[in-house]
Amino acid sequence: MVASTRIHLAMLVAAAALLRPSVAATYVVGDSLGWIVPPGGPIAYETWAAMHSFEVGDVLEFNFTTGDQDLARVTKEAFDACNSSNPIFLQTTGPYNYTLSTAGEYYFIGTMDRHCFLGQKLAINVTAAGSSPSPSSSVPPSRVSNTYVVGDDLGWIVPPGGEIAYKTWAYDKTFLVGDKLVFNFENGTQDVVEVTKDSYDSCNTSAPISVETISPAVITLASAGEHFYTSSYSRHCALGQKLAINVTSTSTGEAPCPSSIAGPPSSNPSPSAQSPTAGGPSSTVPKNTAQGGAKLGMGFSLAIMGVALGLVH
């Protein structure tokens, strides 16, 4: 992500903070995957949905190519059966921005060929604006030292939808020196290795900075800067079990900037990317309106995630 976009993001974050309780957010469905027949099957959009929470007024940006995909909103019954014969709404030209205008459940499918059966389907819950569904148990109110459970209920696995899962998770989270990352995984099936940026980019885990083999692995973020984590098990990194975060020092007095999900991390951070007045460490996670913006799903009902986990195990 280039510096200008980072500045833009910082401004939006600041604006979002000023405009609380909330402003409408736009979510690109599936993030960089877009709206397609997902390679991993239905779990891709289940995972994506479970990592976000949606409010009335938010917009879903369905990014698809006209003629290759389409978009239908359907009933729950039609969603479950992949029955596209009587959609509530049908859009054949993409990309398309769907505004979530009322609270409740929304079911979307692709109607072409066997797209729905192959996993092009998205179910979400939309809550009334401002009613943040926050079981804040996973995020202590005190910002002195946060403990983050990596991937929330997904845990630390080879994510079904690829590396987008942990990018989405990290997006907009603020990591400060002293915060802890908790990696939950099954002993003997994963590990946590911290690696250099080069190793991370090339998925070469032969010379890790540190290795954690016992779950839960609790890692205290001891230094500011970029930190890169993956698993040293064969192909786990290549399949997307990787997490990159920016850790901000607490002592500088600067407002922390959220980790970026886009683009390769750069070694020369832009000083202007720091949000000037975002309210400091104790401010709540702002809802942002940037492309792919994610008001993170840590508070979102994890019902779907349960389904996802059921399929994984």
Ligand X SMILES: *[C@@H]1O[C@H](CO)[C@@H](O)[C@H](O)[C@H]1NC(C)=O
Q: Is there binding between residue 43 and ligand X (CB under 6 A)?
A: no
Minimum distance from residue 19 beta carbon to ligand X (Å) = 16
Number of neighbours of residue 163 by Cβ within 10 angstroms:
20
Q: Is there binding between residue 260 and ligand X (CB under 6 A)?
A: yes
Minimum distance from residue 111 beta carbon to ligand X (Å) = 12
Number of neighbours of residue 117 by Cβ within 10 angstroms:
15
Q: Is there binding between residue 28 and ligand X (CB under 6 A)?
A: yes
With tokens 């990018």, the residue in question is: 167
Q: Is there binding between residue 145 and ligand X (CB under 6 A)?
A: no
Length of the chain counted residue by residue: 313
Between CA 109 and CA 15 the distance in angstroms is 34
Q: Is there binding between residue 266 and ligand X (CB under 6 A)?
A: yes
Among 46, 55, 58, 61, binds ligand X (CB under 6 A): 61
Paired with 98 in beta bridges are 60
Q: Is there binding between residue 133 and ligand X (CB under 6 A)?
A: no
Q: Is there binding between residue 259 and ligand X (CB under 6 A)?
A: yes
Site for ligand X in 107-126 (CB under 6 A): 123-125
Closer Cβ to ligand X, 40 or 293, answer by number? 293
Minimum distance from residue 238 beta carbon to ligand X (Å) = 12
Q: Is there binding between residue 226 and ligand X (CB under 6 A)?
A: yes
Paired with 226 in beta bridges are 246
- Is the sign of the CA dihedral 167, 169, 175, 180 positive or negative? negative
Between CA 260 and CA 185 the distance in angstroms is 25
Between CA 249 and CA 235 the distance in angstroms is 33
- Closest to 140 in 3D by CA, of 183, 168, 179: 179
Closer Cβ to ligand X, 136 or 187, answer by number? 187
- Closest to 30 in 3D by CA, of 111, 158, 121, 114: 121
Q: Is there binding between residue 281 and ligand X (CB under 6 A)?
A: no
Q: Is there binding between residue 95 and ligand X (CB under 6 A)?
A: yes
Residues that bind ligand X (CB under 6 A): 6, 26, 28, 34, 59, 61, 63, 81, 83, 85-86, 95-97, 105, 123-125, 187, 204, 206-207, 214-215, 226, 244-246, 257, 259-260, 265-266, 269-270, 273, 291, 301, 303-304
